[in-house]
Amino acid sequence: MKNEKNVTENVPSGVGYCDLLSIDEGDEFTTDKLLAIREDGLTFKFCLENSWSQKDFVLEFDRLYKTSLIMKVSPIERMIDEATGKLNNDFKEFMKFVWNHVFLTLPPLKHSAT
**Residue 55, pLDDT score:** 94
**pLDDT tens-digit series, residues 51-101:** 999 999 999 999 999 998 988 889 999 899 899 999 999 999 999 999 999
Task: Check whether 15 has a pLDDT greater than 60.
Answer: no
The per-residue pLDDT of the chain, averaged, comes to: 80
Task: Work out the pLDDT band at 114, boundaries 50, 70, 90.
Answer: low
Which pLDDT does position 23 carry in this prediction? 78
> Measured in Å, how far apart are the chain's first and last C-alpha atoms?
41
Q: Identify the pLDDT of residue 25.
A: 72
Range of the domain at 53: 48-103
Q: Residue 31's pLDDT band (boundaries 50, 70, 90)? A: confident
What pLDDT is recorded for position 110?
78
* DSSP-derived secondary structure for 51-105: HHH-HHHHHHHHHHHT--SSS---HHHHHHHHHHTHHHHHHHHHHHHHIIIIITT
Whether residue 30 lies inside any domain: the answer is no
Angle at 54 between CA 53 and CA 59, to 5 degrees: 115
Asked if residue 18 is part of any domain, the answer here is no
**Which SS3 state, helix, strand or coil, does residue 21 take?**
coil
Number of domains within the chain? 1
Residue 114 resides in a domain: no
